């Protein structure tokens, strides 16, 4: 059993106690939790920020951060004060909760039919139940909101202790340079930050040695929202294999830098 089985109800309850709306996307067998901080009567095209994690559950730092409002909410408060709605999917993959992070990674990133949880987004071919219902919920959100930012929290289990960023839909190089400066100011010059793996470029470019820009990965949620919907997208790849606190701090640093790009304060 995954440690998130205990963390999920605790974290959702904490968000609820702070005034967030916590719901479950229903299906016959699976439910995906959603955390929403919204204004009472959003206007058409109301601005929002979307945070998603928990696709591959051997990469557990994203869900742990998303389910720790005492760590994440202070970073998001400038959004709340500016009237920007927040939508958080803290754990999309429900099937993987049956397994421990030290089990076979295939059990933690594929559903019983063999569908990868970061595949099938925005395309017509087969996808997991959780992806289908989450995608439908995001599409509904896009009908009433204009997301200013999509933040995706991952780790790269193929490149141990290598932290890097991946951006899509951020076309202004000055903005990407600002992201680099804000992130390094927060995270610092730590050894865990290494050069991005060049084989991950997939047609994109690499900036600052660790930011992959506009790499193409059709079927991934980042490609769907960043390339198809043109939502500024930042994927945080925390250093897999580092201790949990460092991995959570990496994501928190990326989130703080990303929110800073919106120049709300």
Percent of the chain with pLDDT strictly greater than 70: 93
What pTM, to 2 d.p., does this model score?
Answer: 0.95
∠ at Cα 108 (95, 89), nearest 5°? Answer: 65
Which range is most confident: 29-33, 62-66, 98-102, 197-201? 62-66
The confidence score (pLDDT) of residue 265 equals 64
What is the Cα–Cα distance from 187 to 76, expressed in whole angstroms?
17
Residues 66-78, mean pLDDT to the nearest whole number: 97
83's CB contacts (< 8 A; 6+ apart) are 39, 47
Euclidean distance between the first and the last CA atom of the chain, given in angstroms as a whole number: 42
pLDDT of the residue at 149: 98
Ordered DSSP codes for the chain? --THHHHHHHHHHHHHHTT-EEEEE--SS--EEEEEE--SSPPTTEEEEEEEE-SSTTS-HHHHHHT-HHHHHHHHHHHHHTT-EEEEES----GGGGS-TTS-HHHHHB-TT--BTTS-TTSSS---HHHHHHHHHHHHHHTTEEEEEEEEEEE-TTSTT-BEEEEES---HHHHHHHHHHHHHHH-S-TTB-PPPGGG-TT-EEETTTEEES---TTSHHHIIIIIS---EEEEEE-TTS-HHHHHHHHHHHHHHHHHTT---
Per-residue pLDDT at 196 exceeds 70: no
Q: What is the spatial distance between Cα 205 and Cα 200, in angstroms, rounded to a whole number? A: 10
State both tokens at 195: 């050069």
Which pLDDT tens digit goes with each residue over 152-181? 999 998 888 889 999 999 999 999 999 999
- Single out the residue of 261, 263, 255 nearest to residue 51, CA to CA: 255
State the greatest distance between any 2 C-alpha atoms of the chain, in Å, as a whole number: 47
Whether the Cβ atoms of residue 62 and residue 54 lie closer than 8 Å to each other = yes
| Candidates 3.40.1530.20, 3.30.70.890, 3.30.750.24, 3.40.630.10; CATH matching 4-260 | 3.40.630.10
pLDDT of residue 194: 65
Q: Which of 81, 88, 31 is nearest to 65 (CA)?
A: 88
200 backbone dihedrals φ, ψ, rounded to 5°: -90, 0
């Amino acid at each position: 059993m995954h440690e998130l089985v205990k963390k999920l109800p605790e974290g959702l309850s904490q968000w609820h106690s702070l005034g967030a709306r916590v719901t479950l996307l229903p299906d016959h067998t699976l439910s995906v939790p959603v955390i929403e901080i919204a204004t009472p009567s959003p206007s058409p095209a109301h601005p929002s920020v979307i945070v998603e994690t928990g696709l591959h559950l051997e990469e557990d730092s994203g869900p742990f951060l998303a389910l720790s409002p005492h760590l994440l909410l202070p970073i998001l408060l400038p959004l709340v004060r500016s009237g920007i709605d927040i939508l958080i999917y803290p754990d999309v993959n429900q099937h993987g909760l049956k397994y421990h992070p030290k089990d076979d990674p295939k059990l933690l990133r594929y559903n019983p039919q063999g569908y990868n949880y970061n595949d099938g987004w925005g395309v017509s071919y087969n996808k997991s139940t959780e992806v289908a219902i989450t995608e439908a919920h995001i599409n509904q959100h896009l009908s009433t909101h204009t997301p200013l930012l999509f933040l995706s929290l991952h780790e790269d289990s193929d490149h141990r202790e290598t932290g890097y960023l991946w951006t899509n839909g951020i076309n202004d190089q000055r903005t990407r340079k600002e992201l680099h400066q804000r992130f390094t100011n927060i995270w610092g010059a730590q050894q865990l930050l290494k050069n991005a793996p060049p084989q991950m470029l997939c047609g994109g470019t690499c900036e600052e040695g660790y930011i992959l820009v506009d790499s193409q990965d059709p079927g991934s949620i980042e490609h769907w929202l960043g390339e198809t919907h043109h939502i500024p997208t930042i994927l945080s790849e925390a250093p897999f294999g580092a201790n949990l606190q460092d991995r959570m701090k990496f994501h928190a640093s990326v989130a703080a830098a990303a929110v800073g790009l919106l120049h709300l304060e």
